[in-house]
Amino acid sequence: MPLIISLVKFAVNVVLDLLIISKVHVRSHKPTLNRLETTRPSIKALKILLRPGIPPFVESAIRNALYLWLISNIVSMDSTYATAWGVFNTIRWGLIMVPVQALEQTSLAFVGHAWGAWRRIIGVQNLQPKAKKTNILVLTRPALLSLIIAVIIEVPICLFLTYFGARPFARYLSGSDEVADVTAMMWRTIDWCYIFYAMSTMLATVLLATRPRWYLWQSLASNFLYVLPWAIVCQTANLSADRAWTYHSLVFGGSLVFSFVDILIVDALWTWTLMTGRMKLDVFRG
């Protein structure tokens, strides 16, 4: 799957380069000088992109800082425990999450385009519009479709690896039966939570593509209300490898479920404020 995604990205980049930038053009398309000029990087374009890029940057910095704090606690356990966690993440994030990440980027692109088209229709000067149900459906449809596809992919993989594949795969990666047993235990305990992560990721694209600051607020709520308190507990509880997973499973698995509930609430608030005209949109900068 990663190879297929990389090949598709490479092919699309080649076609776009030939279509827009290169002197050798595909088919009959001949870009004008003005079109070529507008595709060049500029300070003005950077300033336009910088403003909506700040909230996800801050969100990522805080989330990863808390994650590294938790990882330092895991690494302080014995080598088998720490290695098993590394193998778990290699399987989960290095392989199985690739389709979810691809769907996330797809949803972001289509929701963002739908949002821009809708703002053009209502007029960019209208900063407190009142959306209809049909508008909400058009705006959220890419995210909902991505959510459905993600669930269809994630559930069978989760079940297969939980009951059949996690331990053999971990044994293959680590070369250790002991590490494989611990990895399989971790997988059985919290891997189902990643189905909630896949769903919350797709729902979060609605906020990230339309109101980046809302995306930041919901992430801060999840991290400060759930992850941070548990990170403090893990740091101060003098955990041993025998009982550490009880706490770590509540942190990592519980945070995914908590984030799903959090994003449901914020998305519902986003829908309500947009349909009632209570949402104040950002000034358009182009």
Mean pLDDT of 161-165: 90
Cα–Cα distances in Å, from 103 out to 93, 176, 214?
14, 34, 21
Helix ranges (H only) for 95-132 are 98-122
For residue 246, pLDDT beyond 90: no
pLDDT at 193: 94
Query: Where does the pLDDT of residue 196 fall: very low under 50, low under 70, confident under 90, or very high at 90 and above?
Result: very high
Residue with the larger pLDDT of the pair 96 and 168: 168
Give one word for 123, left, alpha or beta, with left for phi > 0 and alpha for psi -120 to 50. left
Cβ atoms of 217 and 246 closer than 8 Å: no
Mean pLDDT of 174-202: 94
Dist. CA 28–CA 160, nearest whole Å:
50
Question: What SS3 class is residue 201?
Answer: helix
Question: What SS3 class is residue 126?
Answer: coil
Mean pLDDT of 180-197: 94
Query: Where does the pLDDT of residue 20 fall: very low under 50, low under 70, confident under 90, or very high at 90 and above?
Result: low
pLDDT at 2: 53
pLDDT at 6: 66
Other CB atoms within a 10 A radius of the CB of residue 59 amount to: 21
Query: Where does the pLDDT of residue 35 fall: very low under 50, low under 70, confident under 90, or very high at 90 and above?
Result: low
**Which is nearest to 112 in space by CA: 140, 145, 147, 148?**
140
pLDDT at 16: 64
For residue 7, pLDDT beyond 60: yes
Dist. CA 259–CA 3, nearest whole Å:
30
Q: Mean pLDDT in the chain?
A: 86
For residue 111, pLDDT beyond 70: yes
What DSSP string runs through 24-66? S-STT----HHHHHHTS--HHHHHHHHHHHHHHHHHHHHHHHH
Mean pLDDT of 87-113: 90
**Which is nearest to 218 in space by CA: 230, 201, 195, 232?**
201
**CA torsion angle 141 147 153 158 (round to 10):** -170
